[in-house]
Structure 1
Amino acid sequence: MTQREWGKAIALGLINGILLAVIMVTLKKSGLSPMPAPLGLAFADTISGRHLPLPIGLLFHLAYVTFWSVVFVALFRPHLTFARAAMLAAGLWIFALIVFVPIVGWGMLGLKVGPQIILGLFITHSLFCIFVWGLCRVFFPQPGHHATGISGQT
């Protein structure tokens, strides 16, 4: 990838992370989130051994989402398909359930808190998939396709 493409991949990741953070914070503040706390904040609290403010958790989240968005672009460019985005999102969902969730004390798969953790993380990782794929369509349009992904043929 060129230096410009790396920059676009990082920008794409930052936008993806911001979109997801806005949704998650809105759901948490409205009482609709199935999570007891944002996972990035719970992880930051756990590794620091103390309660940290929400912006620190959001920075953890933003770094994580940006990293995996850039990995997606770097690994799969020029074939940034929805199926590949879905496979990455599914892998990250499983990883979160068997690594991050137990680390923060919510138990394997989050079952110490309840099964809603599985669904909550599924939804956020599904949104990650949709956003990373959609943003790739804008930032890295395929030859012969418009940014919407529709070719000029009917």
Structure 2
Amino acid sequence: MKWVKAIVAGLVAGLVMFIVLAVGTKTGMAPINVPPSAAFLAATTGIQSPPLAGLLHFAYAALGSVLLVALFGRRTNILKGIGLALVLWLILMVIYSPIIGWGFFGAGGLNHQLPPTSPLYIGPAGMYVLITLVLHAIYGLIVGWMDQVWIDWTERSGADPDQSENLASH
């Protein structure tokens, strides 16, 4: 059951990220026109499918939460969630952004020269770095908190909860 709860926590955190970014792109506050998952999909496959990009985004979000639980187990907390989110953000900045054409940390990519109406356009690098960092911090805060308080860490297949606590302290 802990894995299901970890997946749900990731999906909730992913939904919050998605909503905040959607508001940012619709209001022009975000320096990008589409979420990184949609841009990555378009840049690598040529497919422009919001539903498929959304599925990709939520799969990443769920996987991140499962990874947090797998790495830290009962030691999962908000700080570890934010730490994992920062690692995921660095992967976005160093691997995914250059592949998309947005450059390392949103700087120097070819897509800076696209018209602002292009789906793969990216605006100022500083704003991109800030917005994506804040979004990832929100994600980490949510999964770290939800995984910590929502998962029953005493749950073991048939094990006595008191015994589980004793095992964890050794």
Q: Same fold (TM over 0.5)?
A: yes
| Partner SS state of residue 77, structure 1 | helix
Contact 2:30 2:127 in 1 (8 A): no
CA distance, structure 2, for counterparts of residue 138 and residue 35 of structure 1? 34
Q: Give the match for residue 142 of structure 2.
A: 131
- TM-score normalised over the length of structure 2: 0.74
Q: Give the match for residue 28 of structure 2.
A: 31
| Partner SS state of residue 29, structure 2 | coil
1:141, CA displacement in angstroms?
6.0
- TM-score normalised over the length of structure 1: 0.81
Q: Give the match for residue 54 of structure 1.
A: 50
Contact 1:35 1:120 in 2 (8 A): no
Letter of the 1:99 partner, please give it: I
1:13, CA displacement in angstroms?
1.5
Letter of the 1:124 partner, please give it: L
Q: Give the match for residue 105 of structure 2.
A: 109
Q: Which of 7, 14, 27 does residue 10 from structure 1 map onto?
A: 7
- CA shift digits 1:87-114 (9 cap, x unpaired): 2111111111000000000111111342
Runs of 4+ more than 4 Å apart: none
Determine if the alignment matches structure 1 residue 122 to structure 2 residue 119.
Answer: no
Q: How does 1:67-82 map to 2 (within 5 A)?
A: 67-82=63-78
Determine if the alignment matches structure 1 residue 98 to structure 2 residue 98.
Answer: no
Gaps of 5+ in 2: 113-124, 155-170
| Partner SS state of residue 74, structure 2 | coil
Contact 1:109 1:118 in 2 (8 A): yes
Q: Give the match for residue 16 of structure 2.
A: 19
Question: CA-atom RMSD, angstroms?
Answer: 1.8
| Partner SS state of residue 78, structure 1 | helix
Letter of the 1:31 partner, please give it: G
Letter of the 1:45 partner, please give it: A
| Percentage of identical aligned residues | 28
Letter of the 1:22 partner, please give it: I
- CA shift digits 1:18-61 (9 cap, x unpaired): 221122112211222132421010001112124x1322221111
Gaps of 5+ in 1: 144-154
Count matched residues: 139
| Partner SS state of residue 86, structure 2 | helix
CA distance, structure 1, for counterparts of residue 54 and residue 96 of structure 2? 15
